[in-house]
Structure 1
Amino acid sequence: MNNKKPIDNFIEALQEHKFVEAHEILEDDWKTFKKQGLKLEAKAIQGLINGATALALYHIKKRPDGFKKVWPVYLKYKPLLTNAKINNKNRFFYACKILEEKKEELTD
């Protein structure tokens, strides 16, 4: 049984270029924060989801125009992590680092 936290599974999926799967991994956390009215936390998670989606659009679906529309959403919401009340926040910041490394690796 996988006892890892969703953010750890998200990071692992990113590292393996499984960007569609990464997107799905954080969906439940995003929905939970949304339902609880925790907008800041929901938007912070949404940013990570959009980062993975953007990479999927570019790398897997070969849609660079889609990437150009979605990646800025990740960048817009990334700063929200600073004030979000999320457990293991350092892992979320690490996920941002991985997203940005993958973006550089795949788009340059």
Structure 2
Amino acid sequence: MYDKTKFTQDLAIDRFIYAVENNFYVEAHELLEDDWNEYKKIGEKNKALVLKGLINGATALALYFEKKRPSGYEKVWPVFNKYMPLLDEVSLDNKDRFYYAKELLIKKNSLINN
């Protein structure tokens, strides 16, 4: 049987990583939303929250770097920090890609704090 969620998830996380690597934070934010909504719909709360964390990480960076709204960044980045510990608890295909995305967002965020 075709598993739409898995296929979308694999593509989405790779596209998300590419977007963040290339500083396309607004676009990155959009790339995980379908999977986030699907996990919410099927009751996979913690998986949805992990994606919410990654989405908010990209959103925070977009607010800071692209929208020039540091106060917005300060409100949104803590959501990333709040939900990232759940990554250790969930089962995801290609989980290493999600860890990489997390570390990439942290690395990009370190540019703000220097």
Please, what TM-score do these two structures have when normalized by structure 1? 0.94
Aligned-pair RMSD on alpha carbons? 1.4
- Structure 2 portions without partners, runs of 5+: 1-7
**Quick one: percent identity of the two aligned structures?**
52
Please say if 1:6 is aligned against 2:12: yes
Q: Distance in 1 between matches of 2:93 and 2:12?
A: 11
Please say if 1:80 is aligned against 2:86: yes
- In structure 1, what residue type is equivalent to 2:104? I
Paired residue for 1:58, among 61, 64, 68?
64
Q: Over residues 24-46 of structure 1, what are the superposed CA-to-partner deviations in whole Å (9 max), with x where a residue is unaligned?
A: 00001100100000000000110
Paired residue for 1:45, among 46, 51, 67?
51
Please, what TM-score do these two structures have when normalized by structure 2? 0.89
The count of aligned residue pairs is 106
Q: Distance in 2 between matches of 1:84 and 1:72?
A: 20
Q: Distance in 1 between matches of 2:113 and 2:37?
A: 30
- Deviation (angstroms), 1:105: 2.0
Q: Distance in 2 between matches of 1:72 and 1:106?
A: 14
- In structure 2, what residue type is equivalent to 1:41? K
Match of 2:97 in 1: 91
- In structure 2, what residue type is equivalent to 1:42? A
- Deviation (angstroms), 1:84: 1.1
- Structure 1 portions without partners, runs of 5+: none
